[in-house]
Amino acid sequence: PLIARANAGLKPHVGHPNYSHHVGVSIPFQNPDQNGFPQSDEAAELMNIEDRICAELEIGNQSLFAAVITTNGMREFVFYTSNPEAVQTKLEKLKGEIRSHSVQVIIKHDANWNTYREFV
């Protein structure tokens, strides 16, 4: 099973040349249920993590929050960014501050916004 939440408001910006890098921030669950989803206590922690990541990455519209994908024991927050180097630095700092969960990051060129297009 998979649950996706996508920011449909970004449709007019798909493929914008200033936001050509996909940022995936994955958080593996500590104790997923039988379907691979978080239990209620962990879901609250994940919402706090989401808020922290968004607050940091969206400053000055440096990154656009595109989607959240929950499946198979993990949640991935998807952004598109204009400054992958700055995002990497910010996420390395957050990795050290978020103690409740492991934070995994992937940044790749995705000028066509292929990940976003899969869900919108």
Q: What is the pLDDT of residue 39?
A: 93
Q: What is the pLDDT of residue 120?
A: 87
Is residue 103 within 8 Å of 94, Cβ to Cβ?
yes
Helix segments in the chain, DSSP class H: 40-57, 84-97, 114-119
8-31 pLDDT, tens per residue?
999 999 999 999 999 999 999 999
Cα separation, 53 vs 65, whole angstroms: 10
Strand order across the beta sheet in which 21-28 lies: 2-6, 63-71, 74-81, 21-28, 104-109
35-94 pLDDT, tens per residue?
999 999 999 999 999 999 999 999 999 999 999 999 999 999 999 999 999 999 999 999
Cα separation, 17 vs 28, whole angstroms: 31
**pTM of the predicted protein model:** 0.95
